[in-house]
Structure 1
Amino acid sequence: MVHVRQLDPSASPLDYFGFEARRLREAAGMTLEQLGKVIYCTGSLIGQVETASKVPSRVFAEALDAAFMTDGFFSRLLGLVLRSQLPNWFQPYAEMEAKAAFISTYQCQVVYGLLQTPEYAAALVAVDHPDKVEDLVAARMERQRILERTRPPAVWVILDEAVLLREVGGREVMRSQLARLLTYRDHPWVNIQVLPFTAGVHTGMVGSFNLLRFDADPDIYYSESYDRAHMTADPEVIRERSVKYARLQADALPVEESYDLIADLHQLTSRVTELPASP
């Protein structure tokens, strides 16, 4: 007799997802294989999700909603599931980011997570978590869904010029990432500025940081180190970093000039990737 792992639905969002998927399947009198034929996947994959050994995708969640007519239950739950895959120290920030009305960020090393392509994100994640690339990239892409809302947050991004020149994942991945940044040129709620090398010493030398503003809650300042984060609503910290951010905006290229620079680098990268490989 095959032993079926019993889940505690209160243990985690992933366990709750698996518990409910199994409960509804069994209530419908369906085997794993029968459900697989309905939602176009293998019974093995469904079994992995039901035992919380596999993080479901959004396509999978939407297929379950359609199969069981659950009015978006699994699709809504998936957001919690994917957020729970983020590092524990990052989850509080992700929750606040999802509620923010205005996001200001300065990034000196990498493209801000909300603007990353899946391939770029995968290259970053693989450095420290090669065994969790798929799940962590899915969680990062889930964060980006806030930009697709009817009323998305206003996002102002300042990227150090070094971010645009660092080949994360190789030239092709970087070319696609630069192309992604250019798609925001006419976006009504996203603005990107580039802080050029010619700016010299500036107020962002201490490292990357974010400022979150809300409709009814206090502003939040966020920064992180290698494996931990610092988040505070201290008014003095907010005041100081807001002034420093304004100075970074003044030192950075204007928005249109920033997009022109990104476009130039994208064209250069495209020409380089078309060159024949060295013998």
Structure 2
Amino acid sequence: MTHIRDLDPSASPLDYYGAELRRLREAADLNQKQLGSIIYCTGSLVGQIETARKVPTREFSERVDAALGTEGAMSRLVGLVLRSQLPSWFQPYAELESRATYISTYQAQVVYGLLQTESYARAVLAAPSPDNLDELVAARIERQRVLAREHPPLTWVVLDEAALYRPIGGPVVMRNQLRHLLELRDQRRVNVQVLPFSAGEHTGLTGSFTLMRFGQDPDLLYTEDFVSGHATANPEAANEGSLRYARLQAAALSVEDSAALISRVMEERYGPEPEPDERGVA
């Protein structure tokens, strides 16, 4: 007889997800192999997720919902599971980010997380060599769903020009990332300005920071250091952050000129778009 690992559903969102998946599968009178066949994966993968040994993806969850008729239950739950994979110190920020009505951020080193492509995010997150890279990447992509909700936050990003030239992940990854920034122009509530080298000294020299506004709650200022993040609703700190951000926006290129610079860097530094027959086959 196959040993089935006992789970404590209250131990973590991942354990709860696994217990729910097992309960729903058994209620449908399916074994792991049968469910795997229906949702195009192996029975082994179903078993690993049921025993909290592997983190489910959103695609997996959506297929389970369709197969078992769970009315989106697992798709709703997977968001909580993926958020739990973020560093513990970052999880409160991710929760606040998901509720914000206005996000304004200055990024000195890399593209803002909500605007990263999956390949770019993987290269950024791989730098410290974490053990759970796949889970961290999935969690970052999950965060981006906030921009696709019915009423997304107004998001304004001032991106240092240096981030356009830093070859995160190599030329192909960077070209795709810069193209993604250009495509975001179709989203009226996402705006990107580039702070050019020609701006010289500026109010963001102390590092990246993010300001968030909410419906009724106080504004919040968020910064990070080498080991953790720091959020404060102190009015003086938030006001100082707003003042610095306004000056950064004033020194940055317009949205239109920023797009022109991004396009130029994409073409000149990372090469033209490859022809279809020149693309590598994975």
Same fold by TM-score, threshold 0.5 exceeded? yes
Q: Is the 8 A contact 2:191 2:255 kept in 1?
A: yes
Query: Unaligned regions of 5+ residues in structure 1, if any?
Result: none
- SS of the counterpart of 2:70? coil
Query: Deviations for 1:155-200, whole angstroms, at most 9, x for unmatched residues?
Result: 0000000000000000110010000000112321011000011111
Which residue is 1:175 aligned to? 175
CA contact (8 A) 1:115 1:144 kept: yes
For residues 24-35 of structure 1, the aligned pairs below 5 Å read 24-35=24-35
Q: Partner of 2:248 in structure 1? A: 248
Give the Å deviation of 1:273: 8.1
- What is the Cα deviation at residue 272 of structure 1? 6.7
- Unaligned ranges ≥5, structure 2: none
Give yes or no for contact 2:174–2:270 (8 Å, CA) kept in 1: no
Report the equivalent of 2:16: 16
Instruction: Say whether the 8 Å CA contact 1:172–1:273 is kept in structure 2.
Output: no
Query: Which 10-residue stretch deviates more, 74-83 or 126-135?
Result: 126-135
Per the TM alignment, residue 29 of structure 1 is displaced from its structure 2 partner at its CA by: 2.0
Task: Give the corresponding residue for 1:142.
Answer: 142
Q: Secondary structure at the match of 1:194?
A: strand
Q: Tell me the TM-score normalised to structure 1 length.
A: 0.96
Q: Give the aligned partner of residue 109 of structure 1.
A: 109
1:183 is paired with a residue of what secondary structure?
Answer: helix
Secondary structure (helix, strand or coil) at the match of 2:89 reads coil
Other structure's SS at 2:106 match: strand
Amino acid at match of 2:67: A
Residue 79 of structure 1 aligns with which residue?
79
Counting matched residue pairs gives 275
After superposition, give the CA deviation of every residue in 1:31-84 in whole Å (9 maximum; x if it has no partner): 111111111110000000000111111111011111221110000001100000
Range with bigger deviation, 21-30 or 45-54: 21-30
Aligned positions of 1:195-274 closer than 5 A: 195-271=195-271
Q: What per-residue deviation string (whole Å, max 9, x for no partner) do you get for residues 218-240 of structure 1?
A: 11000001220110000000011
The alignment yields a C-alpha RMSD, in angstroms, of 1.4
Q: CA deviation at 1:246?
A: 0.3
Which stretches of structure 1, 4 residues or more, deviate above 4 A after TM superposition? Answer: none
The AA in structure 1 aligned to 2:167 is E
Partner of 2:161: 161
TM-score (structure 2 length as normaliser): 0.95
Deviation at 1:28, TM superposition (A): 2.1
Q: Distance in 2 between matches of 1:21 and 1:215?
A: 36
Structure-2 separation of matches of 1:254 and 1:28: 56
Q: Secondary structure at the match of 2:137?
A: helix
Q: What is the percent sequence identity of the aligned residues?
A: 60
Counterpart CA distance in 2 for 1:131 and 1:271 is 33
Deviation at 1:271, TM superposition (A): 2.5
- In 2, Cα distance between the equivalents of 1:233 and 1:248? 21
